[in-house]
Amino acid sequence: MTRDVLTHTHGAVGHLSLNRPKALHALTLEMCHAMSSALCKWANDDAVGAVIIDHAEGRGFCAGGDIAFLRNSALHDGGVSGRKFFHDEYQLNHQLFTYSKPVVAFMDGITMGGGVGISQPAKFRIATENTRFAMPETGIGLFPDVGGGWYLSRLGGRIGQFLALTGARLDGSECLWAGLATHYLPSEKLAEAKARISADPSRIAGILSELSVTPPKPRIEENADRIVRFFASDSYEEILSRLEADDSDWAQKERDTLGTKSPQTCKVALRQLAASAQLTDFADNMRMEYRIASRVLVRPDFAEGVRAVIVEKTGDPAWNPATPEGVTEELLDAIFAPLPENEEWTPL
């Protein structure tokens, strides 16, 4: 069993505590397996009334997945080990989404990518003054996966499309405003919240309500009308042209931001969210995202984006295709196409 996730029971709750502080608790395949295994065990344990997910020490709740591992797979084994990682991580995401007992996720710190995937399925999602939420995948040629299509497409006011395309970071009060968090607690109250929930998991909602405070005014609220107006289309070219046609500082800043992103990823994300919004079963969403992940992992933008943004930090990715127009409907169709039946994603 990996020490990168601490799994134990406290009182009447099962406790999953991410413990990889040097990597901001980014998920490895072993961590996903450890969490799934514990969840399976607790599902049939009458002594466990709820599950808490948090991080053990250091900054960050969970900064994402093991990007270096995924890039290595893309470059050296044709994506085979990377696909295995996505397959099993998505099983964990689905397991949490369909879990029979209430899950409480404490998003106290950086919550990105894979961290979104293990917190958003939770019935109770706690933000604090330390929360920094983002799906920054467009900057590295990936896409907002781990259920991102499902969650982002269900936010109001095109907030999800805005977050998916720009990778914008939200603080705790913005997460509460957007519906990504259910409660806002000061970080000094988290230990009390966990202790009280452990003692009586039947009172989770009441305990969190009693400890909640009014957060600062969410900054994103001031831009809500702009986001609705400029990000209203599912056509990436149309969003870009709307931003370009407007001379406000906000529009120019967002247009400049999008200029640094992978055109392939941005178009994938828009189609992904539009498709996810029509689905009624989370498993169907994860099946679609696994198809996308299997293709995008081995396309040029992912290895190149990770090189430029994370490995060499040069900030100069050479995207391929280089322009939105170069990302054809035929390419998108190929990325979203079903896999051979024996390769499709399946739930645990």
Query: Quick one: which H or E segment has residue 209?
Result: helix 204-211
Looking up tokens 């127009």, which residue turns up? 325
Q: Which residues are registered as beta bridge partners of 21?
A: none
Token pair for residue 152? 């982002």
Short-list 188, 25, 317, 141, CA closest to 5: 25
3-state helix, strand, coil in the chain (%, to 5): 55, 10, 35
Catalytic residue (choose from 64, 65, 148, 167): 65
Specify whether 145 is catalytic. Answer: yes
Q: Which of 14, 49, 82, 114 is catalytic?
A: 114
What does the chain come to in residues? 348
206 labelled catalytic: no
Q: Give the HSE-up count for residue 234: Cα atoms under 13 Å, Cβ half-sphere.
A: 11
Catalytic residue among 137, 171, 174, 304: 137
One-letter amino acid at 291 equals: R
Question: Annotated catalytic, 137?
Answer: yes
- In the set 145, 171, 254, 289, the catalytic residue is 145
The label of the residue with tokens 């907002």 reads 144
Closest CA to 107 of 3, 202, 210, 193: 193
Active site residues: 65, 114, 137, 145
